[in-house]
C-alpha cells in the first residue's frame, strides 16, 4: 500500500506491515521523490508494480515518474527493476513535468496516464 509519502507491504495477508521509505528505496531522480505514488499487483506476472512521482528540477529541465517491478518475494531484499519516464520520452520537449499519474493493468500490459505541466 502507499500514500503520498509512505509505502509498506505485508507478507501475512495484512496482519502486519513492513515500511518502505520511497525517498531512499531508489536513486534520486530530477528534483527528488515527491508523492503521488501508486502500487498495484499483477497476478498474471506475479509482480508488484510501484509508480513514484519525482519533482521538477530546473537543472535537468524535467519532472519524471519511475515505474518499478518486483516479484513479491524479492521486495524485502529491494529486488526492484525500474524504468524512468519523463515528457521527452513521449515527444514533448524539456521544461515540462508529469503529475497526477494513474495506473491500471490488463492481461500483459500496464497502462499509465498523467498530466503534463509547464513550470
Per-residue pLDDT tens for 32-78? 999 989 898 898 889 999 999 999 998 888 889 999 999 988 887 88
82-114 burial, b if ≥16 CB within 10 A, otherwise e?
bebbbbeeeeeeeebbbbebebebeeeebeeeb
* pLDDT of 119 over the 80 cut: no
> pTM to 2 decimals?
0.86
Amino acid at each position: 500500500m502507499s500514500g503520498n509519502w509512505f509505502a509498506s507491504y505485508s507478507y501475512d495477508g495484512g496482519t502486519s506491515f513492513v515500511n518502505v521509505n520511497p525517498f531512499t528505496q531508489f536513486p534520486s531522480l530530477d528534483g527528488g521523490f515527491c508523492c503521488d505514488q501508486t502500487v498495484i499487483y499483477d497476478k498474471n506476472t506475479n509482480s508488484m508494480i510501484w509508480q513514484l512521482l519525482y519533482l521538477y528540477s530546473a537543472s535537468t529541465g524535467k519532472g519524471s515518474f519511475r515505474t518499478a517491478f518486483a516479484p513479491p518475494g524479492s521486495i524485502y531484499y529491494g529486488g526492484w527493476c525500474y524504468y524512468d519516464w519523463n515528457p521527452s520520452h513521449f515527444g514533448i520537449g524539456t521544461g515540462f513535468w508529469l503529475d497526477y499519474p494513474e495506473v491500471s493493468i490488463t492481461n500483459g500490459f500496464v497502462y499509465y496516464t498523467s498530466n503534463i505541466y509547464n513550470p
